[in-house]
Amino acid sequence: MMFFDEAKIHVKAGDGGDGCIAFRRERMVPFGGPAGGNGGSGGDVILVVEPQRNTLISFRQHIHFKAARGGHGSGKDQQGKSAEDYLVPVPRGTVVFDVETGELLADLTEPGERVVVAKGGRGGRGNAAFASPTHQAPRYAEHGEPGQERWIRLELKLIADVGVIGMPNAGKSTLLSVISAARPKIADYPFTTLQPNLGVVTLDGLQSYVVADLPGLIEGAAEGAGLGHQFLRHAERTRLLIHLLDGASEDPLADYEIINAELAQHSSALADKLQVVVLNKLDLPDAQARWETVQSAMRNLGVEALAISAATGQGVRELVVRTWDLLQSLPPPEPIAEGPAIFRPAEREELFTIEREGATWRIRGVRVERIAAMTPFLVPDAAARFQRQLRAMGVVAALEAAGIEPGDTVRIGARELEWQP
């Protein structure tokens, strides 16, 4: 079984509905005016935390998520229906990144928490919206605004108070099975645990905390040896680390140094977390003989050390109580991102750029691309209005200053136009 803690998905919000061109045709109303309604808004794509989920496996095959478009406007000033939002469930601890920019968008840690990752387009305006005292019978309407779309990367960082780290076969899974109701796979060979396991530790039926058993590291994990660093991100949210040493190892102190070196290579924040060093397998004579050396070395380093036997339960309750006491003095982990994020343009809407691509001119900008997408160019009045908008924005002057020639192709978003002065 594989543990899916990363995924890349494509999200596409719904387009807005088109506005309508219509005029009133009523008895006893001799000069019925424009009555075309606006289109409805497209649906948003929203990530929502669902506590029952604990992996990203649902995104293994389903990677495209598209919200519905808004309804079109109609006559009699009737507005199109806005589309439903598309809810995409994710587990607690999901961190969201924009694939193209690498921007951190959201850190979803609370049940029911939501974040809009693609905003639905607004509905196009019907011709009734363009009526004015000087233009009483407009014969054009807008197309709906295209919904936003992008690729996002999801990264799962499990929510746990305590992370149990250590070399392979140190007894991490055995310890978790003893102190909680978790039942991870346990065997006497290295790398038995191939995915993080969570367990809830209850103390005297009143206090509880969550412990994560993280798959074992080995020297060279930063270069991909063993299981590499693929699971260390799950230790980043923990407040406390139990560093479990294998009492049957020939040199537990060397193992301790190797693991800490790998933590430091992963991140300085992880290396600086408070650790409780625990020598396991105290039921073995070799572990008993090494305990004094380990205890003395940890004392010199200013690190708290305990000794247990997860197999027999010796010292386990003392470890559980001490862990609880330490957690009371530690602050809760800070979220990676400040609050939920909403898809937003990286630049001001009125800004635009012009690039020359051979005989083609490419115009980029939030507002100019939106105007082009919403203009029905087959309607002469709408095309004329588009020209006026470009001139007001300064686009026409910028193209002329750049040396555009009659017959050149101009691309704005998905639109391709021919320049005529």
186 pLDDT exceeds 50?
A: no
Q: What span, in angstroms and rounded, lies between the C-alpha atoms of 292 and 325? A: 24
Q: Which two tokens stand for residue 16?
A: 């807005």
Percent residues over pLDDT 90 in the chain: 46
8 A C-beta contact, residue 163 and residue 20:
no
| Topology (CATH level 3) of domain 162-328 | Rossmann fold (3.40.50)
8 A C-beta contact, residue 203 and residue 162:
no
Q: What span, in angstroms and rounded, lies between the C-alpha atoms of 396 and 121? A: 26
Cα–Cα separations (whole angstroms), residue 295 to 243, 303, 309, 318, 330: 13, 9, 16, 16, 24
What confidence score (pLDDT) does residue 189 get?
37
Q: What span, in angstroms and rounded, lies between the C-alpha atoms of 114 and 135? A: 44
- Pairing of the two strands 240-246 and 275-280: parallel
What confidence score (pLDDT) does residue 245 get?
93
In the predicted model, what is the mean pLDDT of residues 334-345? 54
Amino acid code (one letter) for 88: V
Q: What is the tens place of the pLDDT at every residue in 9-60?
A: 999 999 999 999 999 877 776 667 899 999 999 999 999 999 888 778 889 8
Angle subtended by helix axes 395-402 and 380-393, to nearest 10: 70
User: What phi-psi label fits residue 7: left (phi over 0), alpha (psi between -120 and 50 degrees) or beta?
Assistant: beta
Q: What is the tens place of the pLDDT at every residue in 367-418?
A: 899 999 999 998 888 999 999 999 999 999 999 888 888 888 999 988 998 8
Pick 348 or 103 by higher pLDDT: 103
Closest alpha carbon to 111 in 96, 93, 86, 84: 93
What confidence score (pLDDT) does residue 118 get?
94
Which of 7-16, 164-173, 216-225, 277-286 is the least confident region? 216-225
- Pairing of the two strands 6-12 and 149-156: antiparallel
1 pLDDT exceeds 60?
A: no
Domain positions in the chain: 1-156, 162-328, 353-418
Letter string b/e over residues 74-98, b meaning 16 or more CB atoms within 10 A of that residue's CB: bbebbbbebbebbebebbbbbbbbb
β-bridge mates for residue 418, sequence order? 409
Pick 219 or 420 by higher pLDDT: 420
Domain at 1-156: CATH code = 2.70.210.12
Q: What span, in angstroms and rounded, lies between the C-alpha atoms of 281 and 307? A: 8
In the predicted model, what is the mean pLDDT of residues 141-149? 93
Q: Phi/psi at 162 (nearest 5 deg)?
A: -130, 135
Q: How confident is the model at residue 187 (pLDDT cuts 50, 70, 90)?
A: very low
Q: Is 78 helix (H, G, I), strand (E, B) or coil?
A: strand
What confidence score (pLDDT) does residue 2 get?
42
Q: How confident is the model at residue 338 (pLDDT cuts 50, 70, 90)?
A: low
Q: What span, in angstroms and rounded, lies between the C-alpha atoms of 67 and 404? A: 39
Pick the CATH number of 353-418 from 3.40.720.10, 2.40.10.220, 3.30.300.350, 1.10.10.60: 3.30.300.350
Q: What span, in angstroms and rounded, lies between the C-alpha atoms of 226 and 216? A: 8
